[in-house]
């Protein structure tokens, strides 16, 4: 990596670098001098992101402050994560410069890219010294991805549709009155594992024997649920199309912010907990790679995480973050060991190796 | 000076120069090949498509290794075996095919009277109105139109609100198979009318008048004169609507509520959701094959209709 001496004209940038390096602890201090020798700045860096409140939160928490500190503009590319993946893979395979600098991705998707060998190693980020274990991608060497927060696929519901109190179990959704009034992700993501428990199976049997999950999903199919993506859930709740859904709490919270009366629970069978992360595709020019790494390093500061994840309502990977007021004690914002015990976490490796089969099985049931 | 200009004006000089350049590039002895030169753009276009298909065929024979997310170096027919044996793909293929046949039939039934009225009306105002109504949807993309139906037919949409005024509880009008068929028919109607109109224009009005003067009722004239002569238009419109419906992606995705996937949606899933481009390529090839067989059948049974550019089958 080409390095230059810092100049006095970059005072704000130096402040930024000092702050991030200081948060990195002793090891970060060792790299501080190296990071101060900056390669040429690109005019902009491109960060792939999800739209709506997702990108708004990223912009408010990470991108704007990064631009303020470095002078580098951040452009958010809202191409779907699934659609950018083959483009990045093709670019790397053909030795072309990839279309984005940073991919904000699900850990499962990102792991596929890491296994394919198209991700840069991020082990040298100073702020990794100050993150929790959640930031480390399980089952992978080094840091091809940095997980930046966790999230829960909760059971979100309209209180008016549950006059006897909140649903306690995923089985409550089998009540005939909810026929046509439920929603799941169109590949079943988030629901496979709770369905395994609700269907009488064990989590230890994943992936070997998931028949209980398929049996339970078959029962759920009789309820004729809607199947969609993140934005659909918010829209469906707002338009009164559904009474309950298995969705990421952020979507439910967004609907609530928009005035929809909506609550969520982690049912007794548990709810899937997963992570999202940031990664950099191979093939970037050296100076752009350097600044892309700085962006991710900045995303791991307490200040950036606090604003970003306040917007998303999700727990981050830096200790000492304050939960948003409306999520204190909320099951979708786990902070204690007891909170995590109610959640289901399956390793990325198992998910990556079996996801295609699970998606097909879920689709076969729901499309049948 | 002025006289010389008049005798050999600048425009002539330019034209002579251009002719000289053209002759240098394409000498007169190549003149017999000129018609083939006209084919070059089409050959290039088809050639690119064929190249793409060869690449897709190559990908379809490679399987995905989920431990490295790389494709196998060896060829195998595993993807084809999966595509032909997994219930999901059979269900989706069957749904797409049935939908394409239903949509084609219904669209032709609706498109014919529209096209007939548009061609035969004596009122220039009505003809203009029908033409504007026909072309207006082309300015609005398929996705926007499908979302429009969500707004109109949704639980809190205009239709349910109107029903609510007469005491009918909101009902689910979208996110089901009929909604997908409805959306497709609405999308395909302008295409069908556009394909039918030239065929109807080519039917001399005098033939209908002659049939009437020989005592045929309007219905008999319609059945024995208009419909047979409109056959090329039906075939052309039918082929276009059939293939577009069979391969549609957006309408099933938006109006189907995630549970009414067509083959194109299944292909998307393989390419972009499970990263299995090999299986996606296999499904794409099978869709091309299915569409080609259907079109081939139509051509074999009924000829190419208006798509034959006026040369009807003997």
Number of domains in chain B: 2
Looking at the complex, does the CB of residue A228 fall below 8 Å from at least one CB of chain B?
Answer: yes
Does A60 score more than 80 pLDDT?
Answer: yes
CATH number of the structural domain spanning residue B153: 1.10.3720.10
Nearest CA to CA, how far is B183 from chain A (Å)?
A: 18
A368 touches chain B (CB under 8 A): yes
Residue B285 and residue B233 in one domain: yes
**Per-block mean pLDDT, blocks of 10 residues, chain B (314 long):** 67 92 88 87 94 96 92 95 93 97 98 96 95 89 91 90 91 93 96 95 93 93 93 94 97 94 95 92 97 94 71 46
Q: How far is CA A141 from each of CA A1, A114, A138, A163, B193, rounded to the nearest angstrom?
A: 22, 9, 9, 50, 61
* B150 and B15 part of one domain: no
Contacts with A180 from chain B: Cβ below 8 Å: 172
For the stretch A74-83, pLDDT in tens is 999 999 998 9
Q: Is B187 a member of any domain?
A: yes
The token duo for A209 is 């024997």
Residue A240 has pLDDT above 90, yes or no: no
Q: Is the pLDDT of residue A204 over 80?
A: yes
Q: Which of B289, B64, B211 has its CA nearest to residue A360?
A: B64
DSSP symbol at A343:
E
Which residue of chain B comes nearest to A228, CA vs CA? B258
Are B85 and B224 contained in the same domain?
A: yes
Whether residue B262 sits in one domain with residue B128: yes
ipTM computed for the complex: 0.80
- The answer to whether residues B168 and B24 belong to one domain is no
Average pLDDT over residues A203-217: 96
pLDDT of the residue at B197: 95
Domain that holds residue B284: 78-308
Instruction: Please check whether residues B113 and B13 belong to one and the same domain.
Output: no
Q: Which fold has domain A152-273+357-367?
A: D-Maltodextrin-Binding Protein; domain 2 (3.40.190)
Name residues whose C-beta falls within 8 Å of residue B90's C-beta, 6 or more positions apart in sequence. Answer: B84
B262 in the same domain as B131: yes
Query: By C-alpha distance, which of B167, B133, B157 is closest to B255?
Result: B157
State the CATH class of domain A8-150+275-312.
alpha beta
Is B313 inside a domain boundary?
Answer: no
Q: What are phi and psi of A45, to 5 degrees?
A: -125, 150
Identify which has the larger pLDDT, B212 or A4.
Answer: B212
B168 burial (CB, 10 Å; 0-12 / 13-18 / 19+) is exposed
Rounded Cα distance between B51 and B170, Å, is: 51
Look up tokens 């503009």; give the residue: A73
Please judge whether A366 and B64 are an interchain contact, meaning their C-beta atoms are less than 8 angstroms apart: no
A33-47, A120-134, A178-192, B116-130: lowest mean pLDDT where? A33-47
Mean pLDDT for the stretch of residues A301-329 = 95
pLDDT at residue A52 in the model:
86
Q: What is the pLDDT of residue B33?
A: 87
Asked whether the beta carbons of A116 and B68 are under 8 A apart, the reply is yes
Question: What are residue A317's phi and psi, to 5 degrees?
Answer: -115, 10
Residue B199 lies in a domain: yes
Residue B3 is predicted with a pLDDT of: 56
Q: What is the pLDDT of residue B302?
A: 87
Contact present, B258 and A242 (Cβ < 8 Å): no
pLDDT at A24 over 80: no
DSSP, collapsed to helix, strand or coil, labels residue A35 as helix
What's the gap between Cα A155 and its chain centre?
18
Taking 60 as the threshold, does the pLDDT of residue A26 lie above it?
A: no
Please give the pLDDT value at position B6.
63
Question: Quick one: which H or E segment has residue B4?
Answer: helix B2-7
Average pLDDT over residues A183-200: 96
- What are the pLDDT digits (tens) for A124-158? 999 999 999 999 988 788 999 999 999 999 999 99
In this structure, is residue B278 part of a structural domain?
yes
Question: Whole-angstrom Cα distance, residue A66 to residue A101?
Answer: 14
Q: Count CB-CB contacts under 10 A for residue A153.
A: 28
Contact residues on chain B for A233, CB-CB shorter than 8 A? none
In angstroms, the first-to-last Cα distance of chain A is 54
Q: What pLDDT, on a 0 to 100 scale, did the predictor assign at position B159?
A: 93
* pLDDT reading at A199 higher than 90: yes
- How close B99 comes to chain A (CA, Å)? 15
Considering chain A, tell me which residue range(s) the CATH 3.40.190.10 domain(s) occupy.
8-150+275-312, 152-273+357-367
- The gap from C-alpha A220 to its chain's centroid, in whole angstroms, comes to 26
Question: Which stretches within chain A are classed as H helix?
Answer: 11-23, 25-36, 53-58, 64-70, 81-93, 107-116, 192-198, 211-221, 230-238, 249-257, 286-299, 302-312, 337-341, 348-367
What percent of chain A has pLDDT above 70? 90
Q: Among A85, A115, A360, whose Cβ lies nearest the Cβ of B86?
A: A360
Nearest to A247 by CA among A157, A367, A336, A334: A157
Chain B interface disruption, residue of A189, A241, A347, most B CBs within 10 A: A241
Of A112, A224, A363, the CB nearest to B69: A112
In the block, which residue shows the tokens 């949409």? Answer: B157
The verdict on B147 and B17 lying in the same domain is no
A163 or A35, higher pLDDT: A163
Using alpha carbons, select from A186, A194, A267 the residue that is nearest to residue A229: A186
Chain A hits for B86, CB-CB cut-off 8 Å, are 360, 364
Q: How confident is the model at residue A5 (pLDDT cuts 50, 70, 90)?
A: very low
Q: Is B40 helix (H, G, I), strand (E, B) or coil?
A: helix
Interchain CB contact of A260 with B (< 8 Å): no
H/E run at residue B145: helix B142-153
The pLDDT, as a whole number, for residue B308 is: 65
CB A149 within 8 A of CB A299: no
B207 shares its domain with B269? yes
Residue A3: predicted pLDDT: 31
């Amino acid at each position: 990596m080409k390095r230059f001496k810092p100049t006095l004209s970059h005072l704000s940038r130096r402040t930024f670098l000092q702050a991030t390096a200081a948060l990195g602890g002793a090891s970060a201090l060792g790299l501080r001098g190296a990071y101060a020798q900056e390669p040429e700045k690109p005019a902009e860096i491109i960060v792939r992101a999800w739209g709506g409140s997702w990108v708004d939160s990223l912009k408010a928490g990470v991108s704007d402050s990064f631009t303020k500190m470095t002078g580098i503009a951040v452009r958010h590319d809202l191409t779907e994560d699934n659609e950018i993946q083959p483009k990045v893979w093709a670019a790397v395979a053909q030795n072309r410069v990839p279309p984005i600098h940073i991919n904000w991705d699900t850990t499962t998707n990102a792991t596929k890219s890491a296994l394919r060998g198209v991700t840069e190693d991020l082990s040298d980020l100073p702020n990794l010294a100050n993150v929790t274990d959640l930031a480390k991608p399980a089952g992978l060497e080094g840091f091809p991805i940095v997980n930046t927060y966790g999230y829960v696929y909760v059971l979100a519901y309209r209180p008016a549709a549950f006059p006897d109190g909140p649903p306690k179990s995923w089985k409550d959704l089998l009540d005939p009155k909810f026929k046509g009034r439920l929603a799941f992700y169109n590949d079943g993501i988030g629901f496979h594992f709770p369905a395994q428990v609700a269907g009488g199976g064990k989590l230890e049997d994943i992936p070997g024997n998931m028949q209980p999950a398929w049996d339970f999903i078959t029962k759920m199919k009789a309820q004729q649920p809607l199947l969609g993506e993140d934005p659909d859930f918010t829209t469906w709740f707002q338009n009164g199309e559904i009474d309950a859904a298995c969705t990421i709490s952020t979507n439910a919270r967004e609907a609530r912010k928009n005035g929809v009366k909506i609550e969520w629970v982690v049912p007794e069978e548990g709810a899937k907990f997963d992570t999202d992360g940031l990664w950099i595709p191979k093939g970037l020019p050296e100076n752009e790679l350097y600044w892309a790494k700085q962006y991710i390093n900045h995303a791991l500061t307490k200040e950036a995480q606090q604003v970003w994840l306040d917007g998303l309502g999700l727990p981050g990977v830096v200790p000492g973050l304050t939960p948003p007021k409306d999520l204190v004690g909320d099951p979708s914002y786990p902070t204690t060991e007891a909170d995590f015990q109610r959640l289901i976490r399956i390793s990325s490796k198992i998910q990556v190796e079996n996801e295609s089969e699970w998606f097909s099985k879920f689709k076969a049931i729901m499309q049948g | 000076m002025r006289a010389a200009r008049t005798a050999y004006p600048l425009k002539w000089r330019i034209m002579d120069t251009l002719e000289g350049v053209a002759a240098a590039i394409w000498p007169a002895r190549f003149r017999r090949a000129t018609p083939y030169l006209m084919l070059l753009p089409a050959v290039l276009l088809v050639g690119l498509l064929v190249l793409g298909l060869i690449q897709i065929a190559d990908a379809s024979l490679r399987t995905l290794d989920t431990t490295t997310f790389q494709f196998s170096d060896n060829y195998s027919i595993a993807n084809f075996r999966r595509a032909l044996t997994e219930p999901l793909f059979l269900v989706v293929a069957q749904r797409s095919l049935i939908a394409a046949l239903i949509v084609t039939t219904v669209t032709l039934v609706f498109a014919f009277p529209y096209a007939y009225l548009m061609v035969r009306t004596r009122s220039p105002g009505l003809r203009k109105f029908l033409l504007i109504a026909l072309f207006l949807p082309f300015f609005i993309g398929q996705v926007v139109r499908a979302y429009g139906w969500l707004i109109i037919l949704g639980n809190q949409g205009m239709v349910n609100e109107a029903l609510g005024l007469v005491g009918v509880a909101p009902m689910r009008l979208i996110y089901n198979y009929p909604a997908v068929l409805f959306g497709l028919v609405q999308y395909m109607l302008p295409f069908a009318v556009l394909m039918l109109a030239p065929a109807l224009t080519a039917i001399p009005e005098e033939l209908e008048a002659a049939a009437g003067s020989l005592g045929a009722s309007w219905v008999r004239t319609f059945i024995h004169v208009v419909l047979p002569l409109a056959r090329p238009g039906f075939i052309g419109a039918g082929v276009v609507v059939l293939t577009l419906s069979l391969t549609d992606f957006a309408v099933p995705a938006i109006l189907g509520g995630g549970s009414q996937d067509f083959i194109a949606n299944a292909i998307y899933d393989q390419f972009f959701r499970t990263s299995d481009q090999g299986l996606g390529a296999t499904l794409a090839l099978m869709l091309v094959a299915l569409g080609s067989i259907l079109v081939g059948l139509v051509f074999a049974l009924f000829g190419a209709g208006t798509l034959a550019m006026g040369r009807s089958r003997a």
